[in-house]
C-alpha cells in the first residue's frame, strides 16, 4: 500500500479512541479546565523565518500525540479553529495551530505552496522535539490546509504518522488553474481577492480562548 494511503488510514485510527462518535465540525464542548494554552510562539524555520504558532495542551505535564493545522486563511482565533482546539484537548491530544509564512503575524513572504514542503517538515520536527510531545503528529484540514499536508508528507518526516486532507484536487493545473486547458480567471481572481480580507481577531484575548500561559 502506498505510504500516503497508509497515512490517511492511520489518522482515522489516530483520532478515534475517546473521540468516537464526535467530529470537529459539530463539536459543541468546551476546553477542559486543565487546558494549557500558549499563543504566538515563534517557531523558527531552517532559513531563520519565524512562524507564529498556538499550542494547546490538554493538561500540564505528560507527553501527548499532536494534531496539527497549518493555515493561511486565519490566525487561529475563528470559532471553527477554536473548535478544533477544544475537540483535540478534550480528547487527550495536544493541538498546534500555525499560520503559514507571510500570513498574519508570521514572518516572511507568502508564495502559495512553494515554501510549505520545508516549513511543514520543520514544524513537525519542532513539535516532536517539545517536552510535551510523544513524537507522533497527525495533520488535517481542507483546501489549502489539505495541500500543506501533502507537501509536508513529501519529506517523510518520521513524526508525521497520519494526514487527513479534504477538498484537495488531484491535479492543481488541470482541476483548478486550467480546467479544460483554459485559465480559470474567475476562480483564481475570487480566491486572490478573498485573501486580501483578514479573517479572525489578531488579539490573543478573544472571548472563548483559554488564558494565555506565556507571551514570547
Q: With respect to residue 216, please indicate whether it lies within any of the assigned structural domains.
A: no
* pLDDT for position 53: 96
Residue-level pLDDT at 116? 95
How far is 59 from 38, CA to CA, in rounded Å? 12
pLDDT at residue 81 in the model: 84
- Nearest Cα neighbor of 215 from 97, 98, 55, 40 is 40
Q: Is residue 164 part of a domain?
A: yes
In this predicted structure, what is the pLDDT of residue 211? 58
Within a domain: 199:
no
Look up the CATH number of the domain holding residue 25: 3.40.50.1820
Return phi, psi of residue 155, to 5°.
Answer: -85, 0
Q: Is residue 18 part of a domain?
A: yes
Residue from 59, 79, 82, 50 nearest 69 by CA = 82
Residue 24: predicted pLDDT? 67
| Closest to 27 measured CA to CA, from 81, 70, 68, 76 | 81
Residue at 211 is within a domain: no
**C-alpha torsion 189→201→49→72, nearest 10:** -30
For residue 73, the model assigns a pLDDT of 87
Which pLDDT belongs to residue 199? 52
Query: Which pLDDT value is given to residue 203?
Result: 47
Tally of structural domains, the chain: 1
The C-alpha cell that represents 183 in the structure block: 485559465
pLDDT confidence of residue 180: 87
Note whether residue 203 is domain-resident: no
What is each CA distance from 8 to 4, 17, 79, 105, 119, in whole angstroms?
6, 16, 26, 30, 20
Give the range of the structural domain holding residue 30, as residue numbers without chain letter.
3-194
Instruction: Determine, yes or no, domain membership for 25.
Output: yes
Q: Give pLDDT, residue 10.
A: 47
Q: Please list the ranges in the chain whose pLDDT falls under 70.
A: 1-25, 197-216
Asked whether residue 200 is domain-assigned, the answer is no
> What is each CA distance from 177 to 17, 18, 180, 195, in whole angstroms?
39, 40, 10, 17
Query: C-alpha 3: how far from its chain's center?
Result: 21
Amino acid at each position: 500500500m502506498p505510504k500516503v494511503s497508509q497515512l490517511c488510514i492511520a489518522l482515522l485510527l489516530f483520532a478515534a479512541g475517546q473521540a468516537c462518535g464526535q467530529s470537529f465540525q459539530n463539536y459543541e464542548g468546551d476546553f477542559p479546565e486543565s487546558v494549557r494554552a500558549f499563543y504566538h510562539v515563534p517557531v523558527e524555520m531552517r532559513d531563520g523565518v519565524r512562524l507564529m504558532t498556538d499550542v494547546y495542551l490538554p493538561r500540564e505535564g505528560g507527553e501527548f500525540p499532536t494534531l496539527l493545522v497549518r493555515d493561511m486563511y486565519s490566525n487561529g482565533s475563528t470559532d471553527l479553529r477554536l473548535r478544533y482546539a477544544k475537540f483535540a484537548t478534550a480528547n487527550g491530544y495536544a493541538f498546534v495551530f500555525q499560520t503559514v509564512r507571510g500570513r498574519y503575524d508570521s514572518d516572511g513572504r507568502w508564495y502559495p505552496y512553494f515554501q510549505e514542503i520545508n516549513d511543514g517538515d520543520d514544524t513537525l520536527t519542532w513539535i516532536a522535539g517539545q517536552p510535551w510531545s510523544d513524537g507522533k503528529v497527525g495533520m488535517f484540514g481542507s483546501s489549502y490546509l489539505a495541500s500543506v499536508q501533502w507537501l509536508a508528507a513529501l519529506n517523510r518526516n518520521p513524526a508525521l504518522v497520519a494526514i487527513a486532507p479534504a477538498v484537495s484536487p488531484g491535479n492543481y493545473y488541470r482541476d483548478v488553474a486550467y480546467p479544460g486547458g483554459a485559465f480559470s480567471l474567475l476562480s483564481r481572481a475570487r480566491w486572490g481577492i478573498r485573501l486580501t480580507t483578514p479573517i479572525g481577531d489578531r488579539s490573543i484575548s478573544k472571548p472563548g480562548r483559554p488564558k494565555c500561559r506565556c507571551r514570547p
